Amino acid sequence: MKTLKGPGIFLAQFVGSDAPYNSLDGLCQWAAGLGYKGIQIPTSDAWLIDLDKAAGSQDYCDELKGKVNSYGLEITELSTHLQGQLVAVNPAYDVMFDNFAPQAVKNNPKARTEWAIDTVKKAGTASRRLGLTAHATFSGALLWHTMYPWPQRPPGLVEAGFEELAKRWLPILNHFEDNGVDVCYEIHPGEDLHDGTSFERFLAATGNHKRVNMLYDPSHFLLQQLDYLTYIDYYHSFIKAFHVKDAEFNPTGKQGVYGGYADWADRAGRFRSPGDGQIDFKGIFSKLTQYGCDVWAVMEWECCIKSPEQGAREGAPFIKNHIIEATQKNFDDFAGGAIDKEKINRILGL
């Protein structure tokens, strides 16, 4: 068994235009002051981390890591959620996802895909230079619009979709293999990798590539009404990153899983700050510890009621209080001792 690392915090939801949220130094000082021990860094803002420099310069990465370490923090993972999403975009979503693309590749899906693949590769190189072994991202989606099939999906569509998804990701996965870094796909609605079955489809399509792993976030499973504890029993060997994010699901006579296009505060399923929802975090931390998952417990704050400032203040002690110091001995060791073959034979009546 292993003791989980933490508490960590994903910076993406806290980046802003005002201090302390508008500089890496400010965010590090703020996070450390709240009791966090690690930060997960999004890579979409060059002032947080410049991927071009990080991929090409060990000195730059050493300086960046040293800056973070000077605040008593570690980098837990880099994140390319936005860039990973752009590796695979169905044309139905071209206009909306162009918002995440640089101006040079907007309105050019082929160029956008090539840019996304290249950018995620750079994050793999940067991760190695920073001494990281796991990377957080999204898979993107070619099939999501057919998730609830009407009209019905034609035979072979799903197989072709995962074949194409794997084709786009294999050069990235091979690059991460060369750099000794795991690709941790956040299993998430809106992505083609959104549950256990879809993860297995992708894994098979990549030839069981050993760098295909996952970021476990139970909030997305609760809102799908998926058994997020048994999920760990199935997939613990693939869990290489962990978001501590809470959620609640309160179906009514008017809406359920799909939410009726309502805003988040009015949905049956909605995200909450850790501890304010329905997720059994004691069960999750117990299972991850029992299975020896060597991961950082990283808070991702998304709540439609509580302020981010309060969520951040409460997140560090919440995670700290859930981390289990993995035992190195059995509680009944006092009853044991060295193997005594003669005594064993007497107990067995031999």
Domain ranges of the chain: 5-348
List, for residues 207-254, the tens digit of each pLDDT value: 999 999 999 999 999 999 999 999 999 999 999 999 999 999 999 999
- Interhelix angle 58-69/24-33, rounded to 10 degrees, is 30
- Distance CA(8)–CA(32), nearest Å, equals 10
The mean pLDDT value for 318-325 works out to 98
- Percent of the chain, pLDDT > 90? 94
The mean pLDDT value for 138-166 works out to 97
pLDDT level of residue 335 (50, 70, 90 thresholds): low
Preceding peptide of 20 cis, ω within 30° = yes
What's the whole-model pTM score? 0.95
The mean pLDDT value for 267-281 works out to 98
**Residue 333: pLDDT above 80?**
no
- The structure tokens 């008593």 sit at 72
Q: What tokens does 331 get? A: 């509680």
Which pLDDT score is estimated for 324?
A: 98
Do 280 and 322 meet the contact criterion of CB atoms below 8 Å apart? no
Helix (H) or strand (E) holding 133: none
Architecture of domain 5-348: Alpha-Beta Barrel (3.20)
List, for residues 175-202, the tens digit of each pLDDT value: 999 999 999 999 999 999 999 999 999 9
Average per-residue pLDDT for the chain: 96
**Residue 278: pLDDT above 90?**
yes
- Distance CA(41)–CA(56), nearest Å, equals 18
**Residue 336: pLDDT above 60?**
no
